[in-house]
Chains A and B, each alone.
Chain A
């Protein structure tokens, strides 16, 4: 049966089946298995004679190894932090640092505020406004009050009437810019420094037809705690600040 002339392949060089899992594009979380028995270590990398597929696969495999290891490290640290078992208590340090960073930021910003305020204080326009303020001398008592006008720096008279409904003594101070007679004014809610104290909400401006002046009306609830309440007076159309109002409620 044997045929001495039968063609015969050469014996393969390999001694066993070639199984190289790095040749397959796998899921990102499956790269943690040990490398194949190709005898090549990571430090050696693919040789220059390897095919393009080998190098691409090497790159992808390595990429996933690096990023998955990095993420696992991050997850481990996060778990330690959430369990409070991190040896150096860096959770607290982290917050302290963050608060420190924010404080530095605020300090930086406050420097600009100080600069701005200083510039404002040197401004002749601002100074004239200060001397022109109406409310500085006009503190209304409970009940109804009418504030006498103060002459402005340019001689212009300005009048504001104040109507207060309150069972308690209240002092009202208005700081308004000049040239407001044509502006429709609006007051936002007046707040006490303590955030737990309810604000004064029933406060508004209207134009008195008879007097032809703005009238500030303010209703203070009976149970309103004694405190100093402040708010901003704005132009109703532009919402630009036109002054401030301060109500000191006495017990």
Chain B
């Protein structure tokens, strides 16, 4: 049975990591063409280049390239869009780190920790502006009609990301604790899934089919993969090691409403709920290590980690089903296998 028709989960860590490395390197080379090297370096362009040069997973750009290739596109026709996606992602990371008060990114201090909030904000704005350049260059590469559609897709992903970020920040500011799992999933759909998986898939498919494809199925597939990815990311945050590149229990320190926190609150007794609400009402600076440890223990007491992990597994299973609905008819290829391997790879990464 070929992979084209097989529904069995595949375990292809080598393929996934190989392609992330290969397409990631290609995208990074193209990104370098867009990173300004002039003045002022110290206060702007060095900062603009910092996050891209730290070398992330390049998952988003690789998904875009692989999807485009799976649908029959040439790699170079999708490269500019992949560059735009990575630049926008890095721009949003700078802003997210400021908004969340994060301290580490990709194993190093966050940009605002290194240079202060005003310069980091400005660098984020510049990166965001820079992400428009390859979209303009797309006009020459793939034609104005398709380039315009991708431009509109990019506008949409910016809206969705902003709305998702607003939901999460609003919950923290207003100390919302009585949240449901569905609230979390909707927030993740907007905050994470659109930019991480849905948008790269849609753009890749648009390029691969020259715009001749319905895009809604990619929202389903991208949502299930992206949500499983985000939950796993949240879980890794609780067991972080040096490879993870983020602060251990950073989400609790930052007051993030993760699936684990929501579950712990739902299962807690009234006294624990009260104490949890009071703890989460504090700002990061006010919260103590002891309080963070207590929240972490509460999660363990009520099996929150296991609960979240199982939900993530379920979502990954649904992603495989939605994958089949989209990709089964396509000829088998390395790119198609990469997409198929994503739902299981989510749990294999560290």
| Residues of A participating in the B interface, judged by any CB pair closer than 8 Å | 28, 42-48, 52, 55-60, 62-67, 70-71, 74, 97-98, 101-102, 105, 108-109
Contacts and interface: CB of A to CB of B under 8 A. Distances in A.
B220 A28 contact: yes
Given A42-B182, A43-B180, A55-B310, A60 B315 contact: yes
Interface in B289-345: 302-303, 306-307, 310-315, 317-318, 321-322
Interface in B176-219: 178, 180-182, 185-186, 189, 216, 219
A17 B303 CA distance: 29
B267 to A, nearest CB: 6
Contact of B136 (A43, A59, A71, A105): A105
Contact of B311 (A58, A64, A98): A58
A71 B185 CA distance: 14
Nearest to B152: A98
B266 A63 contact: no
A108 B182 contact: no
A46 to B, nearest CB: 7
Identify whether the interface residues of B are mostly helix, strand, loop, or mixed.
helix
B32 to A, nearest CB: 18
Contacts of A105: 132, 136
Nearest to A104: B132
A63 B318 contact: yes
B223 interface: yes
Contacts of A43: 178, 180, 266
Nearest to B319: A63
B311 A56 contact: yes
Interface in B127-160: 129, 132, 136, 151-152, 155
A55 B311 contact: yes
B89 interface: no
Contacts of B220: 28, 67, 71
Main secondary structure of the interface of A (DSSP, over half): helix
A48 B317 contact: no
A97 B152 CA distance: 11
B310 A56 contact: yes
A56 B313 CA distance: 7
Contacts of B84: none
Contact of B223 (A42, A45, A63): A63
A52 B317 CA distance: 14
A45 B263 contact: yes
A71 B318 CA distance: 16
Contacts of B132: 105, 108
A102 B302 CA distance: 52
Given A62-B181, A105-B132, A55 B314 contact: yes
B227 A63 contact: yes
B253 interface: no
A57 B310 CA distance: 9
Contacts of B314: 55-60, 63
Contacts of A55: 306-307, 310-311, 314
Interface in B252-309: 263, 266-267, 302-303, 306-307
Contact of A60 (B180, B182, B189, B318): B318
A71 to B, nearest CB: 6
A145 B317 CA distance: 79
B197 to A, nearest CB: 12
B55 to A, nearest CB: 28
Contact of B303 (A44, A48, A71, A98): A48
B317 A66 contact: no
B224 interface: yes
Contacts of A98: 151-152, 155
A67 B315 contact: no
